[in-house]
Amino acid sequence: MTKHSAYTAKVADDAGYIDYTSEEDGVWRDLYAQQLPNIRALCAAEYLAGFDTLGLPDDRVPQCPDISARLRELTGWQVEPVPALIGFRQFFTMLANKTFPAASFIRSRADFDYIKEPDIFHEIFGHTPLLTDQRFASFSEAIGKAGMTAEAKDHAWLIRLYWFTIEFGLTRDGGAFKALGSGLASSPTELPHSVHGADVIRREFNVMDILRTPYRIDIHQPIYFVLEDIDTLLQAAERDLIADVHAAQDLGLFAPAYPPKQKAG
């Protein structure tokens, strides 16, 4: 996880609240309005149930203390503002302590349709609905606890299990693909790409295959893994994930399904 960001973190007051400007509230309002019909059509029932349970404001940036109060009632989780990008160790530690790290800034109009790094729209609109479901909350906690015991060299391997499920997972409903992942729910372009894209590779959920699949954060994913049964996540959480990581390292990464990055200049 790189720690470089083009954005500056917003600072919360002593009660955890952030003073967002009317312009920033307007970006949230317009992102929300644009994405609402997309999630209704393309997201999984589990995500939508959490979204409706939270009742996020549609006209202003939500505040972490308000979201945390609701999550604590449901699954014991909370949301804490952090700088845009944090290191693996801090990320895993926060998950292990049932705390979701939320970037505090919201994207600019220039990055309205696509932003390479997480902002508060991605964090709150994308992630917190899943954290109302005990299965996703427990899986996230398990990833965090595994990461706390892992060596630094294992972190980039373990995070793939989070990436291809909580961030970019798919499921199936009545034969149709539906989006589970938070990165899909908050993206107006990648959400339809993941569900309807003709050139997308959709693979059966498999822990070892996921751990061996490389990805890039700056493009639409060419590969998605499909959870036929959400309870499969609980089974995965009970595995010895660090042993799985070491087994994946012995086998090696699959060949990337994406083109190499173009070198500047």
Q: Among 24, 117, 123, 167, which one carries the catalytic annotation?
A: 167
CA distance linking residue 262 with residue 202, whole number of Å: 26
Write the secondary structure of 183-222 as one string of H (helix), E (strand) and C (coil). HHHCCCCHHHHHHHCCCCEEEECCHHHHHCCCCCCCCCCC
Mark whether 186 is an active-site residue.
yes
Query: Which residues are documented as binding site for Fe cation?
Result: 122, 127, 167
Mark whether 167 is an active-site residue.
yes
Q: Among 68, 140, 186, 194, which one carries the catalytic annotation?
A: 186
Q: Among 46, 104, 117, 127, which one carries the catalytic annotation?
A: 127
Angle between helices 134-149 and 88-96 (to 10 degrees): 130
**Taking a C-beta distance cutoff of 8 angstroms, is the pair 25, 59 a contact?**
yes
Mark whether 127 is an active-site residue.
yes
Query: Which residues are documented as binding site?
Result: 122, 127, 167
Mark whether 187 is an active-site residue.
no
Q: Pick from 28, 124, 24: which is nearest to 78 by CA? A: 124
Q: Among 24, 68, 117, 122, which one carries the catalytic annotation?
A: 122
Catalytic residues: 122, 127, 167, 186
